[in-house]
Amino acid sequence: VSVSKDGGDPVVVANLGPGQVVGEISLLHDQPANATVLAHSVVGALFLNRNDFQDLLQKHPDVHAYLTTLSADRLKATQAAHEADEVLDADEFIVL
């Protein structure tokens, strides 16, 4: 997962693996995506549109709580990477 600051070079903020969630921040906060996710191998993914996502959160408050915590942690990690101008090598991981 990478982010670009003010149109600059992308900064890698996380490497994700099987079972990880992406795109939750923009859905939870009703804003454009703040990161780019690039797969380096074949990926099977599930997609939920905004309405289905909102229905899921209403029916499963535990999922809402988990994703809210996850998005807050990811936003903090992204901010910290920007502040440090930190770039991770491909074999380094931030556990989110």
Extract the tokens encoding 28: 């939870």
Q: Evaluate whether residue 75 is within a structural domain.
A: yes
Residue 3 has pLDDT above 90, yes or no: no
Q: Evaluate whether residue 93 is within a structural domain.
A: no
pLDDT in tens, 35-72: 788 888 888 888 999 999 999 999 999 999 999 999 89
Q: Evaluate whether residue 89 is within a structural domain.
A: no
Q: Evaluate whether residue 90 is within a structural domain.
A: no
**pLDDT at residue 16 in the model:** 85
Cβ pair 88, 94 in contact under 8 A:
yes
Q: What is the mean pLDDT of residues 9-23?
A: 83
State the Cα–Cα distance between residues 91 and 30, nearest whole angstrom.
32
